[in-house]
């Protein structure tokens, strides 16, 4: 147990009580250099969750986030819940309640509802490749100028002919669930040995040069020690554009499984820090987060406070350069702090002018000019929604340390600023567009508990 005799409150918020799922008072508390989220339910008492191992980083990032994301920007990225059908039945699935509840979304419904292009649509579901008309849906959405990604367990992509059809439909990116190089892990998380079929599917995607984001569900004492090995693997595969390390979430139907195996993104950062002997670490990620918060707020786009990012640039033979080996982070951090000091006093426009004024300093911060030029091209493509550019295999590999909202880590101020929305059919068969997937997941958890008679 942690001794909280010497703690202090960083901020107050609201969160769900993990037992009764009522909104209750919550606080982020600093104790012995760590940060805990404490919920106080009048009926079920206190629950504490460790959310960050370094209170000083946490406070700085929280401050930078509040300055840049004080207003809630419009949502531009949505999960599209195409079907409740799945070819797997993973015990950890947080969407298991929907399987008998919801129906497919039809092309006609999409035609009626999606009139204005969204920046990114991620085709989602239990398993979207279970829909026979998936290629037609992708083509239809691409014609309407959406950026279209597919979130899949990848099993159907082990068939090369099918993977070719998906490529021909012009999909932009594939989010591919890949948890481990060890079949015991798949047996535990997914109830099946899946390594062979996953490898086959990944090979097909490599052959077809389709950009892939590996989505790794990381569970403490199960596959957390593989974080480094997966990173090494991705350093040698240019078609893998990102690694998304998702800290396991206790939510929906999977809520009672593996209760002691919960990690926060911060813990996964620690694992990769140990593996890379500090070449990637929390302090460097902190600087990049500040840059990202500022950049996204200038574009008026959302980013989630619980999710952290970093980049490496792949060289030959699995070698790589970290972002701070490409740009001088000391110089960069000074300029970012200047922006964050100015913005609350003078407003965003003046702070942007300050960045322009400081651009010579930033220019001198660039250590690897050629790589930086490539980076600016990518940022340009991102700013102007040029999906075509992002589609190319790139030497850049993005690292994402993420988690989703569950009752334990729920914080209303974070869930309300969720970086992704949800388009789905409700229990009455009506098509709904929810701008905050975080709030949607929490509501699903409440529904799931009511259904199973737990509350």
Interface contacts to Zn ion, rule CB under 5 A: 17, 19-20, 41, 43-44
In the complex, the smallest distance separating the C-beta of residue 17 from Zn ion, rounded to whole angstroms, is 3
- Are 421 and 32 in contact by the 8 Å Cβ rule? The answer is no
Q: In terms of CB distance, is 17 or 122 closer to Zn ion?
A: 17
Sequence-separated (6 or more) residues with CB below 8 Å from residue 53: 33, 34, 266, 267, 270, 282
Q: In terms of CB distance, is 276 or 447 closer to Zn ion?
A: 447
In the complex, the smallest distance separating the C-beta of residue 408 from Zn ion, rounded to whole angstroms, is 12
Task: Provide the CA 19 distance to its chain's centre, in angstroms.
Answer: 26
Please work out, in degrees rounded to the nearest 5, the angle formed at the alpha carbon of residue 390 by the alpha carbons of 387 and 392.
Answer: 120
Sheet of 77-83, strands arranged across? 320-322, 308-314, 396-402, 240-247, 212-218, 173-177, 147-152, 120-125, 77-83, 421-425, 431-434
Please give the Cα distance from 348 to 340 (Å, whole number).
10
Q: In terms of CB distance, is 34 or 44 closer to Zn ion?
A: 44
**The tokens 């600016």 sit on which residue?**
376
Q: In terms of CB distance, is 41 or 93 closer to Zn ion?
A: 41
Q: In terms of CB distance, is 135 or 407 closer to Zn ion?
A: 407
In the complex, the smallest distance separating the C-beta of residue 19 from Zn ion, rounded to whole angstroms, is 4
Count CB-CB contacts under 10 A for residue 426.
Answer: 11
Handedness of CA 281, 283, 284, 285 (dihedral sign): positive
In the complex, the smallest distance separating the C-beta of residue 347 from Zn ion, rounded to whole angstroms, is 42
Query: What DSSP assignment string belongs to 362-397?
Result: HHHHBS-HHHHHHHHHHHHHHHTT-HHHHHS--SEE
In the complex, the smallest distance separating the C-beta of residue 14 from Zn ion, rounded to whole angstroms, is 13
Pair type for strands 396-402 and 308-314: antiparallel
Please give the Cα distance from 333 to 295 (Å, whole number).
14
**What would the two tokens of residue 363 be?**
């220019």
Task: Report how far apart, in Å, the C-alpha atoms of 93 and of each of 85, 128, 134, 306 are.
Answer: 13, 15, 22, 20
Q: In terms of CB distance, is 259 or 277 closer to Zn ion?
A: 259
Q: In terms of CB distance, is 407 or 421 closer to Zn ion?
A: 407
In the complex, the smallest distance separating the C-beta of residue 24 from Zn ion, rounded to whole angstroms, is 6
Q: In terms of CB distance, is 45 or 74 closer to Zn ion?
A: 45
Q: In terms of CB distance, is 48 or 159 closer to Zn ion?
A: 48
- Are 436 and 418 in contact by the 8 Å Cβ rule? The answer is yes
In the complex, the smallest distance separating the C-beta of residue 453 from Zn ion, rounded to whole angstroms, is 16
| Beta-ladder partners of 233 | none
In the complex, the smallest distance separating the C-beta of residue 16 from Zn ion, rounded to whole angstroms, is 8
In the complex, the smallest distance separating the C-beta of residue 28 from Zn ion, rounded to whole angstroms, is 19
């Amino acid at each position: 147990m942690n001794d909280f005799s010497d703690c202090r409150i960083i901020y107050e918020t609201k969160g769900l009580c993990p037992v009764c799922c009522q909104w209750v008072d919550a606080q982020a508390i600093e104790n012995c250099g760590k940060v805990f989220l404490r919920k106080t339910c009048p009926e079920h008492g206190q629950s504490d969750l460790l959310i960050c191992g370094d209170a000083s980083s946490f406070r700085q990032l929280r401050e930078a986030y509040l300055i840049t994301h004080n207003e809630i920007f419009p949502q531009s990225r949505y999960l599209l819940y195409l079907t409740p059908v799945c070819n797997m039945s993973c015990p950890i699935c947080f969407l298991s309640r929907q399987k008998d509840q919801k129906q497919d979304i039809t092309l006609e419904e999409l035609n009626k509802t999606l009139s204005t292009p969204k920046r990114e649509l991620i085709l989602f579901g239990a398993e979207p490749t279970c829909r026979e008309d998936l290629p037609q849906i992708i083509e239809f959405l691409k014609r309407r100028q959406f950026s279209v990604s597919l979130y899949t367990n990848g099993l159907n992509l082990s068939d090369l002919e099918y993977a070719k059809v998906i490529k021909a439909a012009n999909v932009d990116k594939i989010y591919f669930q890949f948890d481990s190089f060890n079949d015991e892990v798949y047996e535990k998380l997914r109830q099946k040995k899946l390594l062979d079929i996953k490898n086959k599917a990944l090979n097909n995607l490599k052959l077809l040069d389709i950009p892939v984001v590996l989505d790794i569900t990381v569970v403490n004492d199960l596959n957390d020690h593989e974080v480094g090995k997966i990173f090494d693997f991705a350093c040698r595969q240019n078609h893998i554009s990102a690694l998304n390390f998702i800290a396991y979430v206790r939510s929906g139907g999977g809520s009672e499984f593996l209760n002691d195996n919960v990690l926060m993104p911060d813990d996964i950062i620690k694992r990769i820090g140990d593996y890379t002997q500090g070449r990637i670490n929390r302090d460097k990620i902190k600087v990049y987060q500040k840059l990202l918060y500022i950049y996204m707020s200038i574009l008026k786009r959302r980013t989630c406070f619980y999710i952290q990012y970093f980049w490496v640039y792949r060289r030959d033979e699995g070698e790589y350069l970290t972002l701070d080996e490409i740009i001088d982070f000391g110089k960069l951090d000074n300029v970012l702090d200047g922006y964050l000091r100015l913005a609350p006093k003078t407003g965003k426009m003046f702070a942007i002018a300050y960045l322009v004024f400081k651009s010579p300093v930033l220019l001198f911060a660039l250590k690897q000019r050629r790589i930086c030029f490539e980076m600016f091209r990518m940022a340009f493509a991102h700013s102007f929604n040029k999906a075509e550019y992002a589609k190319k295999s790139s030497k850049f590999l993005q690292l994402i340390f993420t988690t989703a909202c569950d009752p334990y880590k729920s914080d209303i101020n974070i869930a309300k600023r969720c970086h992704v929305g949800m388009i789905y059919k409700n229990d009455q068969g009506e098509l709904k567009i929810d701008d905050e997937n975080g709030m949607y997941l929490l509501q699903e958890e409440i529904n799931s508990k009511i259904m199973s008679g737990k509350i």
